[in-house]
Structure 1
Amino acid sequence: MHGGVKRGQVTEIWGPPGCGKTALGIQLAANALSDGNGVVWVDCFQKLQTHRIANVLKTVKESRMLADIESIQDIDPAKLVHYSCMTLPHLLAFISRPTTTAIASDVSLIVISSLSALINSSLPRSLEAKGSKKPAKGPTQASKRLQGLQFIITTLQKLAATKNCAVVLLSQCATKMRSEQMATLIPSINTTVWEQGVSTRLVLFRDWAWNASKSSSVFLAGLQKVDGRVAQDAVEHVSAFKVESAGISSVHYEANSSDMEVAVMAPRPKRKLGQTDLEVPDSDDDDEDYGWADEDEDALPPPPSQWQGSEDLILGENAGLTEDESEAEEGLQDYYYEDDETGDGDRSNNETD
């Protein structure tokens, strides 16, 4: 929880609902404003309650007065610029050609909230079954999605590099179902081109415990990727914190590291569906997976093409890439590395709290 995020990089913070993503973004924004820097907050799904930032700013200022009076600077509320980009074209226009009025030269932090919800609603995942007839001409839905994801993440990299600021993405999560395995949480956007563009990734989640017949919860943050290096374990350097109206603060917490790996699993290499040879067992005793029995499945309506507006998105067995997405992604890999202007996050080692 110390050290902040690096300038010139794209940092992704993801997790389930109510795990403190917005609270952590507000804390980063308040720290940057307290240092006299500018902050841009972009909403893509739900508008931010600005009074929350005001409460955290007040707490940060009071804590710095007690620590070191020389580090206190006058906080200018006008340095916090708040935008709402509820459509993907609006967001693309904003990040592709930002004006000096939209993103001033003193901006050190750009927070984009619920970007994954906006992308998944505008560029839904393809649910075409294997062997389905492909259109005769034109790109498939899967290739359009991958091209869109590559353009978005590349543009964000360039924005972080050219403006010398930290770009923080607050993303949602999905529940991935595997045959004969427990459900695991994965980022809502987990394609290869997207993961290559994210320099640092943090996962947030919560844990509950009983103390004197009372249940209590703690917020946890773990690193999955730092400066382009993927963590060896699923989650590393787990830190506990609490969320209050005055901001977030560290708390003491001890937990088994193996429990953390079960809670959030690292993404595995994706394969085509035909290479998996998965079979769903039809034993009558196998009714432990979320209480669904075989006779209940026949009565269920077909799932919608994409569940939107919810962070806890259930993808079913199609959580991995389809055949069209795999083929489109393979075609994009060579092109991705040829872009010399992507701004990989290593151009600046400056940090902002």
Structure 2
Amino acid sequence: MSTQDILGLSSQDAGRVISFPASQYLHASTASPVPGAISTGLPRLDQAISPISPDESSQSSSDATLRGIPCGHVTEVFGPPGAGKTALAMSITANALCDGGKVIWIGTTSLTFKTVADRLDTTSPLPKLRLKSMLMQSLDTTKSSDTPQQLIDNLIYFRAQSLPHLLALLLHPPQGFPPENTKLLVVDSVSGPFPSYFLSPSELKSRLAQAKITDKSQVHWLMNRKWNVTSELANQLMKLAASRQLAVLVINQTHTKIKGLPRATLSPLLAGGAWENSMHTRIVLYRDFPAVDDEESEVASRGVRYAEVLKREGKALTVRSDENIVPFTIDSGSLRGTDTAQPSRAVPQQPVEETFRAGGRKRKVDEIADSQDEEGSDDDFGWVDGDDAGLVEGPADDS
């Protein structure tokens, strides 16, 4: 039996795919018109991701460009647990299915007893009951003759149990992956398998010292191994989106960074120059408790989430503005935008230049204790409700 029969992977000997630089795919995708977009289910968020240009404002509604996450590019959504990342991904999935396209959902999170009740079957960690409810509401709005089950049949689910499984699926995909007419690829979550395979810097230094590894080239390779894998994964996602003209949505987890910053800051777990350059759009989700006058309004505000666009059309937004911050709530059927006031900014925002100056090192790296390590101190700081609006790592406000 051949390797392809056992693993379902194409052979590398015959018909090997020729690789091209990722920048070549990027330039080719930006030079041609964007092949459509997929709505997030929140009109204000769609508008923040792809604002209307002066040339488009004069067009009729039938000729207007579709708004939402762009096809042919990679969109990243990150935020703390419970912020609504999976719910937003499911809303985008429902809209892609209603548009007649196929969706591939790659899950890396494990199934827990608490989430079993939200599944149609215990073999798939994807909350299909909630997705079916979203599809029913979308079909009622569009007056379509399709049934939710017919649309769900166009959803293909893959379970990536570990980081090698995820890399094998994306870097060496089986034949027919992704299938024709695929409009959306979701990875939930792309950062989930990484912590179990890569030690924190302090732990890695301790292991190297115990093993008495002094070869500089080997130490350098071990220290940069995570970033090399992250870069390869980001480049592959970008090439896949550009070559197949589909939208790639990756959900990224967060951790707390302290070293080099004026305060504890919530940051994406997967980051770095190569990763961030590959992201065409970045959206952060968080929760906050705005100032309210009465107890009833305070209780209602606890269910409000905020989606903030940090990067669009491949360019980071250097200034925070209310137009890019969208409040919304989550129910069983859909995401709903609200008119809630913008999140409080209890922690004063600083210009980017001042933030970097405040984070300048005054001691040598060897003099910094392990307890102050960037990743080693993540577990010491929990996420406190009400602090997230000022702690999210993103462009600072000039005000």
Q: Same fold (TM over 0.5)?
A: yes
Q: Which moved more, 1:170-179 or 1:249-258?
A: 249-258
Q: Which amino acid aligns with 1:52?
A: R
Task: Give the letter aligned to residue 191 of structure 2.
Answer: S
Q: Contact 1:234 / 1:261 at 8 angstroms: preserved in 2? A: no
1:270 & 1:43 partners in 2: Cα distance?
A: 40
1:135: which partner in 2? 214
CA distance in 1, matches of 2:96, 2:158: 18
- Residue 186 of structure 1 corresponds to which residue in structure 2? 267
* Structure 1, 185-194 or 105-114: larger mean CA deviation: 185-194
CA distance in 2, matches of 1:267, 1:158: 36
CA distance in 2, matches of 1:80, 1:30: 10
The residue that corresponds to 1:254 in the other structure is 341
Is 2:238 the partner of 1:174?
no
Residue equivalent to 2:93: 29
1:64 equivalenced with 2:142 (yes/no): yes
* Superposition pairs of residues 124-163 of structure 1, within 5 angstroms: 124-127=199-202, 135-136=214-215, 138=218, 139-163=220-244
- Considering only aligned residues, what root-mean-square deviation do their CA atoms show, in Å? 3.7
SS at match of 2:230: helix
Could you tell me whether the CA contact under 8 Å between 1:39 and 1:110 is conserved in 2? yes
Residue 319 of structure 1 corresponds to which residue in structure 2? none
Q: What are the within-5 Å matches in structure 2 for residues 1-353 of structure 1? A: 1-2=45-46, 3-46=67-110, 47-65=125-143, 75-99=150-174, 101-127=176-202, 135-136=214-215, 138=218, 139-178=220-259, 181-209=262-290, 210=292, 212-214=294-296, 215=299, 216-217=301-302, 218-233=304-319, 237-255=324-342, 258=345, 262=349, 276-278=361-363, 313-314=378-379
- Contact persistence 1:176–1:314 (CA under 8 A): no
- The aligned amino acid for 1:149 is T
Greater strand share, structure number? 1
TM superposition shift of 1:223: 0.8
Secondary structure (helix, strand or coil) at the match of 1:117 reads coil
User: Aligned-pair distance for 1:302?
Assistant: 7.3
Structure 1 residues 261 and 48, CA, compared in 2 at 3 Å: closer, same or farther?
A: farther
Deviations 1:124-144 (A, max 9, x none): 442356997763153532221
- Deviation sequence 1:293-344 (CA, Å, 0-9, x none): xxxxxxxx9799978xxxx94478xxxxxxxxxxxxxxxxxxxxxxxxxxxx
SS in 2 for 1:76: helix
Q: Which residue of 1 aligns with 2:120?
A: none
Quote the Cα distance in structure 2 between the aligned partners of 1:116 and 1:79: 26
Aligned equivalents of 1:135 and 1:244: distance in 2? Answer: 56
Classify the secondary structure of the residue corresponding to 2:324.
strand
Q: Which secondary structure state, in structure 1, belongs to the residue aligned with residue 289 of structure 2?
A: strand
- In the alignment, which residue of structure 1 is the partner of 2:30? none
How far off its partner does 1:93 sit? 1.4
**TM-fit CA distance, 1:256:** 6.1
- Whether the 8 Å CA contact 2:285–2:305 is kept in 1: the answer is yes
Q: TM-score scaled to structure 1, two decimals?
A: 0.70
Report if aligned partners of 2:259, 2:374 keep a CA contact under 8 Å in 1.
Answer: no
DSSP 3-state at the match of 1:241: strand
**8 Å contact 1:19–1:219 — kept in the other structure?**
yes
Write the distance in 1 (CA, Å) between the matches of 2:255 and 2:357. Answer: 16
Indicate the SS of the match to 2:186.
strand
For residues 194 and 302 of structure 1, do their structure 2 counterparts lie closer, same or farther at Cα, with a shift above 3 Å needed? same
Kept in 2: contact 1:125–1:145 (CA 8 A): no
Alpha carbons 1:234, 1:266 under 8 Å: kept: no
Q: What is the count of residue pairs matched by the alignment? A: 284
**Paired AA for residue 294 in structure 2:** A
TM-superposed CA distance for 1:63, in Å, is 2.0
CA distance in 2, matches of 1:266, 1:52: 44
Amino acid at match of 2:214: P
1:180 CA drift (Å)? 8.8
- SS of the aligned residue for 1:23 comes to helix
Residues 246 and 194 from structure 1, CA distance in 2 versus in 1: closer, same or farther, beyond 3 angstroms? same
Identity of aligned residues (%): 25
Unaligned runs of at least 5 residues, structure 2: 1-44, 47-66, 111-124, 365-369, 382-399
For the structure 1 residues 278 and 243, does the alpha-carbon distance in structure 2 shift closer, same or farther, using more than 3 Å as the test? farther
Q: How far off is 1:148 after superposition? A: 0.8
Over 3 Å counting, the alpha-carbon distance change for 1:208 and 1:154 in structure 2 is same
CA contact (8 A) 1:179 1:278 kept: no
Structure 2 letter corresponding to 1:5: I
CA contact (8 A) 1:124 1:306 kept: no
One-letter amino acid of the counterpart of residue 240, structure 1: P
Q: Which one-letter code corresponds to 1:156 in the other structure?
A: L
C-alpha change, 1:249 and 1:266, in structure 2 (3 Å) is farther
State how far apart, in whole Å, the 1-side matches of 2:313 and 2:261 are.
Answer: 35
